Chain A
Amino acid sequence: MQAVSKGDGMRGLAVFISDIRNCKSKEAEIKRINKELANIRSKFKGDKALDGYSKKKYVCKLLFIFLLGHDIDFGHMEAVNLLSSNRYTEKQIGYLFISVLVNSNSELIRLINNAIKNDLASHNPAFMGLALHCIASVGSREMAEAFAGEIPKVLVAGDTMDSVKQSAALCLLRLYRTSPDLVPMGDWTSRVVHLLNDQHLGVVTAATSLITTLAQKNPEEFKTSVSLAVSRLSRIVTSASTDLQDYTYYFVPAPWLSVKLLRLLQCYPPPDPAVRGRLTECLETILNKAQEPPKSKKVQHSNAKNAVLFEAISLIIHHDSEPNLLVRACNQLGQFLQHRETNLRYLALESMCTLASSEFSHEAVKTHIDTVINALKTERDVSVRQRAADLLYAMCDRSNAKQIVSEMLRYLETADYAIREEIVLKVAILAEKYAVDYSWYVDTILNLIRIAGDYVSEEVWYRVLQIVTNRDDVQGYAAKTVFEALQAPACHENMVKVGGYILGEFGNLIAGDPRSSPPVQFSLLHSKFHLCSVATRALLLSTYIKFINLFPETKATIQGVLRAGSQLRNADVELQQRAVEYLTLSSVASTDVLATVLEEMPPFPERESSILAKLKRKKGPGAASALDDGRRDPSSNDINGGVEPTPSTVSTPSPSADLLGLRAAPPPAAPPASAGAGNLLVDVFDGPAAQPSLGPTPEEAFLSELEPPAPESPMALLADPAPAADPGPEDIGPPIPEADELLNKFVCKNNGVLFENQLLQIGVKSEFRQNLGRMYLFYGNKTSVQFQNFSPTVVHPGDLQTQLAVQTKRVAAQVDGGAQVQQVLNIECLRDFLTPPLLSVRFRYGGAPQALTLKLPVTINKFFQPTEMAAQDFFQRWKQLSLPQQEAQKIFKANHPMDAEVTKAKLLGFGSALLDNVDPNPENFVGAGIIQTKALQVGCLLRLEPNAQAQMYRLTLRTSKESVSRHLCELLAQQF
C-alpha cells in the first residue's frame, strides 16, 4: 500500500476540524459549518476546474460535515470524479465518500459502477482493494447485481495478489450474506476450495470464512474442502509456534484460522476413514496441548488456546463417533469446571450439556455431578448457575435422579426468581420421568409446591392428579401425604387444589384412621376455603359434594355450608351455580343416583406430558421447533379435553360437567342438550335463579383438560331424559344464519366487509381474471385482548373440492388487540360449481374458544368474462340455446327501487357485458358473457325485463349448461 506522503496533509481540513472542535456552542458550530458549506459551494460552482488536491480536500470536509449529522445534498459528482484519479489518496477519499453517502441515484450509480469496474480490471492491487472495500461496505443489492459475477473471477484468477484475494473473498462473503440469490455458483467454486491450500494464511482465513458460509447452503459443492481443511488444520496444529511468524498469536499458531477450519468441518458429517484418522490425530493434539503448561501468563494466550479447544470439542460432539475423544473432551471440560475464569466455567457447562446427550460420554459427564451441584450452589453469576441447572437436567438418569432432584429442590429455596419456574418444571419432569416408585414422585411434587408454590404452573399439578388417578397403588399414600401437608398452618393455594381434588377422590382411603376421619378432613379443607381464589373455591365445592357421596355422615354439615348465604348468593356466578346445583343434587337424588353421579374419576388416557411441552415453550423457539408449538395448543384440547369446543359448548358450558364426569354415562356427549342444561335446570328444580355462566373460567379450561373423554353433564342426565342429539366431532359448525345474506352482498361486488361482530371484523378484497382469482381476507381484532390459536380455514363442503381449488396461506396464530392480519387466498375455478366454500374461523378470546363459519364470497359469476357482440350475433346465439333445459326464467317482485342506473351497475358488477341497442325495448337489459373454468367454458346470455308499473322483473338466462343457468338465475334474482 502506498504511504500517505507528508504533503497530503490537507491543512485546510485540519483547520476546519479544529475550528469545529473549538466551537463553544451548537449555534457556533452550525454557523461555522454554514460558512464552510457556502465556501465549498462557491468553489464547486466556480468556472475554473479544481485540481485533485482541493477537490479531495472539499469532499473530505463534506464527509466530515455529514458525519457530524448535517445533510449533504451536493458534491457527489466531485466525489465520483475523484474515483477516476490516478492518485491513491484521492481515489481513497472518493471511495470513502461514496461508501458513506451512496444513494440509489441512477445516473451516479452507473458512473460509480463504471469506476469500480475500471479499478477491478486495473491490476493495481491498491486500487482493486479500494474497489472491493467499497463494494463490501455498501453491500447493497444493486452492488451485488453489478459485481457478484465479477468478484469470483478476481478471486480465482492466477495472477491476483494475495491481499486482493483476501479482500475479494471477504467481499464475496458480504454480498452472499445480503443477497445469496445473486451470487452465482459455478466452476469457480472448485477453485475457491483450493484456496485452502494457498501459501498465504490470510487468504486461507478469508477463504475459510467464505467456504463455511457457502457450504452451509450448498454442502455438495464444497465437499472436497473437508480433506483440504483437515490437512491444513493438521499442518497448523503440528507446527511449532515460531513457524507461522505473523500468524502466531501469543504462542498459539493461527488460532482464528484453526477455529474457522473447525467450524467448516462442523458443516459435514465425519469424513471417510483415511481423512478421519488424520483429523482424530489433530483433535488429539489439540486436547494434548490443552494439558501442556501455558507458554505465557498473558490472558490472550489462554483465550486463543481455549478458543481452539472449545471449537475442537464442539466438532467432537458434532461428529459424536469417537468415544475416546468424547471422554477426553469431557475430562478436559471437567477441569475447566473448577477454573477460576467465570467465562470458562460457563462455556464448559454449556458444552457439557451437549456432551451429556451423547451415549458415549454420558457416563463421563455424570462423574462431575458433585462439581456441577457445587457450581449450582456457590456460583456467583446467575447465567452460570442457569447453565449448571441445565446440565444437571441433561445428565440426569435413573441412577442419579433422586440425588439430582433433591439437590435441585434444595437449591430452589434460594434460587433466583428468574429461573425458578424453569427449575420447577425441570424437577417436575425429572421426577416423573425417572420415578421408580410413585410415592417418591408424589412426595417430590408436593415438596415442590410447598417450596415454590408460586412458580408451579397449572400443568405441573394437573400432571400429579393424572398420575395419582391412574395409579391405584399411590392413591392411599397420596391422600395421606396431602392430608399431612394440608395441616401446615399456611399452605400454598396450589397445595389446596391438589389436596381438595385428591381427598375428594380418595379421601375414603384414609378415613379409617381416627386422626383423618371424614369430619376432620372436611374441616381441614374448609378452614382453607375462605382464603382461596374463586377457582379453588369452585374446586373445593366439588370436593364437598364428593364427600357427601363418600361419607354420608358429613352430609348435614356440608349441606349447611352449601346453604349458607355466602355460597347460595355468592356474587360469582360460577360459585353460586355450583352451590345451588350441588345442594339440590344432594337433597333430591337418592344414594344410588349420587353414587353413580359422583363416582370416582376414570383413569386418564396416557399422553405426552404437558409439562414437557411447557418447558419447550419456555425455552423459546430455539429449543422447540415451531411444529411442536403449533401442535401443542390444539392437542391440549383435542386429546385432553375430549370435546372439541364447538360454538354450542362455548356459549353455555355446563359447569357441573367437569369434575364429576361420569363413566357410566352413555358415551355420546350431548353438547346441544347441555347447551340448554343450564336453563333447563332452573325450571326443573325451581330453585333460586342460577344464571348459566357466560364463559368458561380458567378453572373450566383445566377441568376440561382433566375430564375423561365424552363427559356427560349429570344434570342433563338427571333432568333431561330426552334423546341427546349428537353433533359428532365435526370440524366446523354450520355457517352462521346470516351467511347467505352476507354472501348476497358480494355477488355484484368484490370488496367490502364480509362480517363484523363485537370481537372480529373480516374484510374482503378480491380480484378475478378468467378462471383465476385472488382474495385478501383481513381479520381485524376489535378488542384490546390478544386472540390466541387464531386459525381461519377454508372448507369445501360436498364435492366442491373437485370444482374449485382454494389455496390459503397460513396466518399468525396470535392476533394482537386492535391489530389486523391478512390472509391471501388463491382461487382457481376447475369446473362450474353451485355452493360457495366455507370459511371457518376459530380462535381463543380471553381463554374462551370462539368459532364461526361463513360462506366465502366466491360465486360462479366471479369467473364471468364479458363479451361484446352485435345485435345480430346475439340473437343468433340466443336461438342456438333454445333447448328448454338451457333456459332459466324467473319472474319476481323488486325488492329495491327500480332504477335503471343502479340496475346497470349491478349487472356490470355481476360480470356480464351489457349490450346496448340489442333489445327492441330500450327499457330492457341484455347481457352476454362467458364463464371461464379450467375444464370448460360456459357461454351465457341474459335478459332482464323490468316492469315499472307492476314493480316486477322478468329475468331470462340462457347458457349452454342447465345447472349454470338455474344457479345464475337464482343468484341474480336476489339482487334486484
Chain B
Amino acid sequence: MIGGLFIYNHKGEVLISRVYRDDIGRNAVDAFRVNVIHARQQVRSPVTNIARTSFFHVKRSNIWLAAVTKQNVNAAMVFEFLYKMCDVMAAYFGKISEENIKNNFVLIYERLDEILDFGYPQNSETGALKTFITQQGIKSQTKEEQSQITSQVTGQIGWRREGIKYRRNELFLDVLESVNLLMSPQGQVLSAHVSGRVVMKSYLSGMPECKFGMNDKIVIEKQGKGTADETSKSGKQSIAIDDCTFHQCVRLSKFDSERSISFIPPDGEFELMRYRTTKDIILPFRVIPLVREVGRTKLEVKVVIKSNFKPSLLAQKIEVRIPTPLNTSGVQVICMKGKAKYKASENAIVWKIKRMAGMKESQISAEIELLPTNDKKKWARPPISMNFEVPFAPSGLKVRYLKVFEPKLNYSDHDVIKWVRYIGRSGIYETRC
C-alpha cells in the first residue's frame, strides 16, 4: 500500500508531505528529489526504484506528485489514485499550481486524511467529499445531516446522497475523444487509435436509475439477431470497442451479462466511461509534406493539409507544427490561410488556422536558410505534428439513448432534458516527412 505522498514544486522543494506508514522515512523525500527531479538525465519512467523504495510520480504543470511505497503494490492502482487526487484538487481550487497548493495547505492535508487511510485509498468521489470537507469552514451540521453522511459513506451507494431535488431535471452528455496517428510520408497509416471518454453532468432528483446505449458492435449484432431488418433500416454503423473502463457506479455484472450500461449517477459531473478503439477511425486531416534540400545551406518545405469530413462541419483551433533543423538561421513563410510563424525557441514553424470546413485544402511553403556547421550529423527530420478540434467523434461512436427511471418520484424519462455533444481532439497526430 502507499506509504507516503509528497508534492514538490519545480525546484524540488516539498510543498506537501504526508507519511502513512513507518517504513517511509524522511530521507525518501530527498531521495526522490535527488534521483528524479534533479536527475542529470531526464527521468522518463513514471516509476522509479531507489533503495528498495518505489516512487510513482505524475507531473501537473510544474508540480510533482509522488506516491512512495516499500511494498509490492499495484502500480495501476497507485496511478489511478494519483490522477483521482489531481481531479479532486482541481475540483476544489482549480488549476494545480504552486501558489494554489500553498494557499490550500490545510484543505489538502484534510483531504489526504480522508481519501487515504493507512495507505489504502478510500472514497475519492469529489461530490461525496464536498459534503463533508468544505472550503468555507465547518458549518454546524444537524444531527440528521451527520447521520446522513455516515450512512452515505458506509452505505451501498457511496457516491450519491439521498434526498436530492431539482426543479428542472437535466443532464449533459459529452463524448470527448482524442485521435492519435502516425503516418508515413507516403500517406500510409503506421499506427492510429482513438481514446475517448464519456463525461456526464447530471442534475436529477432522487435516486434515478439510468441506462446508457451506444452503437457498440456487440450490442447491435445481438439485437440484430432478433430484428435483422431493423438495423439495416436504421443504417447505423457500429463500432468495435477494444477496451473500456467504467465509473464505479456502473453495474458491471449487468454489463458482463447483457452488455447494457446501467447505473445510478453521482450528482454533478463525472466520467461515465473510458474506451479505446483502433478500427475504422475517421482521420479528420491528412497532411502531405514535401521537403527538399537545396544544397547545404537551404531547405524548402511545402505542406498541404486536407480536411476529410462533412463540408457542413467546421474544425477549429488548427495548428500545424513543422520542425526546423537545429542550424536554422532564417525562415521565410508563405501560407494561403491562417497565420504562420517561425518559433526559434521551439525550433519549429507554427501555422495556425482558426477555422476550416470539411473537404477543403490549404497549403504552406517555407524556405529555411541553414548555417553550415562542423557537425557531419544529418538532420533527424522529426515528424510534423498537428492539433485541432472537430465536432464529431472520430471513432464513429454514437449515443443511441440515455434513459432515466425514477420509480419513487413522479417524473419520467420524457421530463428530463438531455444534451449530447461530441468533441474530437487531436492527441499525438504526426506525419513523417
Contacts and interface: CB of A to CB of B under 8 A. Distances in A.
A58 to B, nearest CB: 12
B329 interface: yes
Contact of A32 (B42, B345, B347): B345
A45 B345 contact: no
B346 A44 contact: no
Contacts of B10: 24-25
A76 B329 contact: no
A34 B326 CA distance: 9
B374 A45 contact: no
Interface residues of A, number: 20
B96 to A, nearest CB: 14
Interface string A1-34: 0000000000000000000000011100001101
B373 A73 contact: yes
B25 interface: no
B100 interface: no
A74 interface: yes
B430 to A, nearest CB: 19
A76 B375 CA distance: 11
A38 interface: yes
B104 interface: no
B106 interface: no
Contacts of A37: 326, 344
Nearest to B11: A24
A421 to B, nearest CB: 31
A35 interface: yes
Interface string A42-60: 1011000000000000000
B345 A73 contact: no
A39 interface: yes
Contact of A105 (B327, B346, B374, B377): B374
B344 A73 contact: no
B347 A73 contact: no
Nearest to B347: A34
A281 to B, nearest CB: 57
A39 B328 CA distance: 10
B94 interface: no
B389 to A, nearest CB: 24
B62 A45 contact: no
Contact of A73 (B62, B329, B375): B375
Residue of A73, A76, A103, A108 with most chain B CB atoms under a 10 A cut-off: A73
B327 A73 contact: yes
Contact of B328 (A31, A32, A38, A105): A38
A123 interface: no
B330 interface: yes
B177 interface: no
A41 B374 contact: no
B330 A45 contact: yes
B330 A39 contact: no
A25 B10 CA distance: 6
B431 to A, nearest CB: 23
B347 A41 contact: no
Where chain A touches its partner, the secondary structure class is helix
A32 B343 CA distance: 11
A105 B374 CA distance: 8
Contacts of B369: 45
Given A74-B373, A74-B374, A44 B345 contact: no
A16 B329 CA distance: 19
Nearest to B42: A26
A673 B329 CA distance: 87
B345 A41 contact: no
A221 B168 CA distance: 107
A73 B344 CA distance: 17
A45 B371 contact: yes
Given A42-B329, A44-B329, A34 B373 contact: no
A74 B345 contact: no
A41 B327 contact: yes
A41 B328 contact: yes
Interface in B216-255: none
A35 B342 CA distance: 11
A98 to B, nearest CB: 14
B297 to A, nearest CB: 9
Interface in A312-353: none
A74 B371 contact: yes
A108 B373 CA distance: 13
Contacts of A41: 327-329, 371
Interface of B is mostly: loop
Contact of A76 (B42, B326, B345, B374): B374
Contacts of A73: 326-327, 373-375, 377
Interface in B308-331: 326-330
Interface centre among B326, B347, B371, B372 (most CB of A within 10 A): B371
A26 B327 CA distance: 21
A49 to B, nearest CB: 16
B345 A34 contact: yes
Nearest to A32: B345
A35 B344 CA distance: 5
Contact of B344 (A25, A26, A38, A105): A38
A37 B345 CA distance: 9
B374 A25 contact: no
Contacts of B372: 74
Interface string B342-383: 001111000000000000000000000101111101000000
| Residue from A39, A42, A44, A76 whose CB has the most chain B CB atoms within 10 Å | A42
Interface in B74-98: none
A74 B344 contact: no
Nearest to B9: A24
B330 A25 contact: no
B419 to A, nearest CB: 38
Nearest to A38: B344
Interface string B282-314: 000000000000000000000000000000000
Interface in A239-285: none
A805 B347 CA distance: 66
A44 to B, nearest CB: 6
Nearest to A45: B329
B62 A74 contact: no
Contacts of A26: 42
B121 to A, nearest CB: 29
Contacts of A44: 329, 371
B373 A35 contact: no
Nearest to A33: B345
B327 A31 contact: no
B330 A34 contact: no
Of the listed residues A26, A34, A35, A39, the one surrounded by the most CB atoms of chain B closer than 10 A to its CB is A34
Contacts of A31: 345-346
Contacts of A108: 374
A37 B329 CA distance: 9
Contacts of B373: 73-74
Contacts of B347: 34, 38
Interface in B56-80: 62
A461 B371 CA distance: 76
A24 B42 contact: no
Contacts of A34: 344-347
Interface of A: 24-26, 31-32, 34-35, 37-39, 41-42, 44-45, 73-74, 76, 103, 105, 108
29 contacts: A24-B10, A25-B10, A25-B62, A26-B42, A31-B345, A34-B344, A34-B347, A35-B344, A38-B328, A38-B329, A38-B344, A38-B347, A39-B344, A41-B327, A41-B328, A41-B329, A42-B330, A44-B371, A45-B329, A45-B369, A45-B371, A73-B326, A73-B373, A73-B377, A74-B327, A74-B373, A74-B374, A105-B374, A108-B374
Given A26-B42, A37-B344, A44-B371, 16 more contacts: A25-B10, A25-B62, A34-B347, A35-B344, A38-B328, A38-B329, A38-B344, A38-B347, A41-B328, A42-B330, A44-B329, A45-B369, A45-B371, A73-B327, A73-B377, A74-B371
- Give 10 closest A-B pairs by Cβ, nearest first: A38-B344, A45-B329, A35-B345, A31-B345, A73-B375, A41-B329, A73-B373, A35-B344, A34-B345, A41-B371
